[in-house]
Every structure is written in structure tokens, then in C-alpha cells.
Amino acid sequence: MKIIAIMLAIGLSVAFIAKANPEDDTPEELTRRIQELYREGKFKEAIPLAEKVVVVTKRAKGDGDPETAISLNRLAALYSKLGDYAKEEPLLKEALEIRQKVLGPQHPDTASSLHNLAGLYRTMGEYGKAEPLYKEALEIRQKVLGPQHPDTAVSLNNLAGLYLRMGEYGKAEPLYKEALEIRQKVLGPEHPDTTASLNDLALLYKDMGDYAKAERLLKEAVEIYQKVLGPQDTKTATSLDNLATLYLKLGNYAEAEPMYKEALEIRH
């Protein structure tokens, strides 16, 4: 009788686990685990879970549902972290097609998908493919969200970044300036995104050889990061690095060395 009771207990336990396990495979639970692995930098381990979310979402919602597009983007982001662009590209394209068809060509989420695909092509060095996508995303955001929206500033900044990579400084400068003005007005002069714009514009001026403008903006960025994020933040370290690199280029080693050291100490 004792053996039978133990076997029954084990059987009930197994049955309970079998019943509970399907709950672990809900899109919500899978997404939670994916996000956890992502934060830990375990991108490869997260991919099977993200693939499962795509399958489950397609089965529940259909191939053309906006939720499916979200799951495709999530999987694409993991491949991006691994540098597997060949697998990332079709996922981003599929997500874009879903949004264009279901949400419409002027929807903010469609603009986000255009932006994501453009970013991939920029990373791959395929600037000719990236430019029209960035432009289309910018036009949508300007029209639908407004010319002063933070997402519009993101589009301006990223298109400027593309032109910087292409060496087209004349096209990059007004876009960087406009993005900075939006962020200063809407987010405030000490917001991290505003400070990022200062950095971006400064680095453009450095590449253009306008070192006086670059120095002024980089100094301002360092001061804001130190004040808002703190002297030990990684963004503060990056900003110090940028300013030190400018001084190195100018041959001002006495200014560059302590900044490089300070940035190194922050990171360690």
C-alpha cells in the first residue's frame, strides 16, 4: 500500500508539472524570459525562445497581425546583437510588410520598421539602401507625429549619422542641428538625448576640421553628463574619451591624458 501511495504521489506530481508546463510557453512568459536573457547578454540562448514566440503568435494571431510583427522584430534584434545580418534582414522585411499592409504606410510603427531596416543596411555599409528608408521614416514621423516630436529628432539624427558615414558633411550638419534644437526645446537642455545630440554634432565638426566648435560642444556634453548621470556613468566616460581624442588630434597631450585616465577608471 505504501508503494502504491508513493507511486500515486509521483504520478500526481508529474501530472501537475505536465499541466503547469504549458503556462511556461505562453508568449508573455517566453517574452519575460527573453528579456531576462537579453539583459544578461545571453543573446544566443534567447533565440530559440524568440523563435517559439513567433510560431506561437502566428498560430494565435495569424501571419499578418501586428503582434506577429513585434515578435519578428524581437527575434531580429537578437540576431543583430550576434552580428548575423543575413538572418536579421528577412525578419525585418517581413515585419515591415505586415505593418505597411495592416497598419498602413503612414503609421508610426511602419516608420519604426523602416528605421530598423535602414539601421541594418547602415551597419552593413549598404548606404544606398539605407538612405531612402531613413528618409521615408522621417517623412512619416514629421507628418504624423509632428516636426517637434522626439521620434522625429531620432530620424533626423540617424539620417545625419548616415550622411556622416558617407562623408556628406553638408547634408549631415543641418539635420544634426535640427535634431538638437528639437531635443533642447522638447526634452530640455540637460536630457541625455539632448547631450547625445551635442556629442554627435561635435564629432561632425571634428571630422570637418572645425575643432573650436567641436571642443565647445564636447565640453558642454561632459559637463551635462557629469551633472545629470554622475561622474561614474559610462556615458560620461564616452564623452570624456571623445574630448580627449580631440585634444590628442590637436597635439594637446597634457589635456588628453588625464581625461583618458578618468574614462578608463570609470569603466573599471
What CATH number corresponds to the domain at position 75? 1.25.40.10
Is residue 199 a contact partner of residue 239, using CB atoms and an 8 Å limit? yes
Distance CA 141, CA 143 (A): 5
Joined grid coordinates for residue 30 = 517566453
Joined grid coordinates for residue 173 = 550638419
Between the alpha carbon of residue 224 and those of residues 29, 151, 192, the distances in Å are 39, 22, 8
Is residue 80 situated within a structural domain? yes
Distance CA 25, CA 212 (A): 57
Is residue 209 situated within a structural domain? no
Is residue 84 situated within a structural domain? yes
pLDDT digit string (tens) for 203-257? 999 999 999 999 999 999 999 999 999 999 999 999 999 999 999 999 999 999 9
pLDDT at 8 over 60: no
H-type helices in 40-107, by residue range? 43-61, 66-81, 85-102
Between the alpha carbon of residue 124 and those of residues 70, 82, 177, 203, the distances in Å are 23, 13, 26, 21
Stated pTM of the model: 0.85
Is residue 157 situated within a structural domain? no
pLDDT digit string (tens) for 162-194? 999 999 999 999 999 999 999 999 999 999 999
Total number of domains constituting the chain: 1
Look up cell 573599471; give the residue: 268
pLDDT at 107 over 80: yes
Degrees to nearest 5, angle at CA 145 with 142 and 151: 80
Mean local confidence (pLDDT), 131-154: 98
Is residue 97 situated within a structural domain? yes
Report the chain's mean pLDDT, rounded to a whole number. 91
Q: Which residue has the higher pLDDT, 141 or 3?
A: 141
Is residue 96 situated within a structural domain? yes
Distance CA 197, CA 220 (A): 11
Is residue 73 situated within a structural domain? yes
Q: What is the pLDDT of residue 27?
A: 82
pLDDT digit string (tens) for 14-59? 443 334 454 567 888 999 999 999 999 999 999 999 999 999 999 9
Domain span at residue 66?
30-103
Is residue 235 a contact partner of residue 192, using CB atoms and an 8 Å limit? yes
Is residue 50 situated within a structural domain? yes
pLDDT at 125 over 50: yes
